[in-house]
Structure 1
């Protein structure tokens, strides 16, 4: 098949109810853009009939294809797989739950044709979220801007268009603990944002719990900064300084006023406090060591169980032959 002008990557996980409504809105948009396009669904180990729904669509529209994982590898890995298999001159990444309006793709393509290599959807408000969630999101962007290697546009997510040259750079990044938002910013290129309002999710429920979001935020900071490690170095120096100052204080007090009766509660509190500091510092070091361990094993990012449609053909040798198991 000739390479299309535009590829649309859509990671899905148990989203069978969303695919029909999504396609009804997405197809007219792609039809207005032109005939040279493809849609590549990445089935991230769905346990419902998501893959069957995609297979039915592919029979009626040959420009629809899919890559099905052997198990759930996570959204960040699904995006990486989509970039491996997308063949378009420009690649759009979006979610299937219609919170990313398909109509925005036309604005993305227009900016791309104006010469921008990266066009991202920039969320205009978070009024649909709780105050706590908004506060943590704002805190994350501030921490990342302060301590990260690069800055992130606030409100920018995975909903974006990436030019082919940016896609090729992203494909060379085989790291396991992926933080795609940071990778998009790290590669550079001429970028611009397009404001949009996130639509309410009408079908299904979100897969992102507060625990997963917190873990994702920590992965992002750890992937682009060593500040969590340096904090404990600074804290160690501070505690050492305070301990020396405290020792001098008690030495002078003992010389002037004599020895006080030792306090058992203060001793226990001190032991528990410093033990906690040591365990937390070891935990942070362990997080980084764990990432190193995952990288040196050199396991593939994902395993493909099935491919559907001609649009899901492997585009070049960056995807190992061992991934290719079966084609529908």
Structure 2
């Protein structure tokens, strides 16, 4: 009988854990698979770790990995994938926006021979127009800049074959954009569409600041275009500056009129200075990522692993 690992990163989800656990069991138990629920607690400050300890003691199919601090959603997912032992591994969020009733659909596609079964979120109930618009713009931007295509509406709700998980573990970069990494790995992929319901309880922990960091990681991890943009902009304005300089020299040497445009000169200097700072900022983002990579620190640390104690 095939064994399925379900990896669930959680952060301050005490209101959702037990209901999510019950729903997953309800949809997995009728299927012809053994399965485990692998919760990865990303440094929660509420009662989430206590609830995971309680559930793991009651059900041997449940394990809890408690991270030493909050590392972020992508590293929590990585931790779960590193510890998953299943023939197939499903990653999903624990707030019920990744519907457990979709699990049989993903497994059916896997049985058809697809090594990656990726869900595509058509829409999300109750999501703001701002998040919908910015999400769409992000995917259009990154696909225009990157050689690796990232499916618009893609989520971290997917099934990976064991072979794909083993390939994923060979990727060691710190700034992780897993949607791009899975796209770069390849393998045979199937797409499954779904409508994400509202959260069962609580509020989203994915703030605007985290969204911006996530987008920046995705762009800098899979595109050098910002660096080229800074280079070509610098080249363009260097040529413009040279032309303006030649014009000023001509006026000074061959006419009786001196250039009175102090305001224009000041504005030009400020504009070019701002452009240089923009270029340095873009370069700094990439240099900062090089700095993080060369330190070779562990991606994450675990404080404790929760599982049912074996009876003697």
Q: TM-score range by the shorter chain?
A: over 0.9
Say whether residues 1:101 and 2:99 are aligned partners. Answer: yes
CA distance in 2, matches of 1:310, 1:290: 42
CA deviation string 1:110-156 (max 9, x = no partner) = 00000000001111125643333222222211121111120011111
- Report the secondary structure of 2:100's partner residue: coil
Give the aligned partner of residue 271 of structure 1: 269
CA distance in 1, matches of 2:246, 2:124: 52
- Report the secondary structure of 1:173's partner residue: coil
| TM-score computed with the length of structure 1 as normaliser | 0.90
| CA deviation after TM superposition for structure 1 residue 253, in Å | 4.7
Give the aligned partner of residue 175 of structure 1: 173
CA distance in 1, matches of 2:297, 2:166: 21
CA distance in 1, matches of 2:216, 2:30: 40
Say whether residues 1:142 and 2:144 are aligned partners. Answer: no
Give the aligned partner of residue 215 of structure 1: 213
The runs of 5 or more residues in structure 1 that have no matched partner are 312-328
Give the aligned partner of residue 297 of structure 1: 295
CA distance in 2, matches of 1:132, 1:266: 38
Report the CA distance shift for 1:253/1:129 in structure 2 as closer, same or farther (over 3 A): farther
Report the CA distance shift for 1:127/1:53 in structure 2 as closer, same or farther (over 3 A): closer
State whether residues 121 and 196 of structure 2, in contact with CA within 8 Å, keep that contact through their aligned partners in structure 1: yes
| TM-score computed with the length of structure 2 as normaliser | 0.94
State whether residues 248 and 259 of structure 2, in contact with CA within 8 Å, keep that contact through their aligned partners in structure 1: no
CA distance in 1, matches of 2:128, 2:42: 28
Give the aligned partner of residue 14 of structure 1: 12
Give the aligned partner of residue 240 of structure 1: 238
State whether residues 125 and 195 of structure 2, in contact with CA within 8 Å, keep that contact through their aligned partners in structure 1: no
| CA deviation after TM superposition for structure 1 residue 240, in Å | 1.2
Q: Which moved more, 1:157-166 or 1:17-26?
A: 17-26
Instruction: Report the number of matched residues.
Output: 309
Give the aligned partner of residue 79 of structure 2: 81
Q: Which moved more, 1:117-126 or 1:255-264?
A: 255-264
| CA deviation after TM superposition for structure 1 residue 252, in Å | 4.4
Say whether residues 1:34 and 2:36 are aligned partners. Answer: no
Give the aligned partner of residue 204 of structure 1: 202
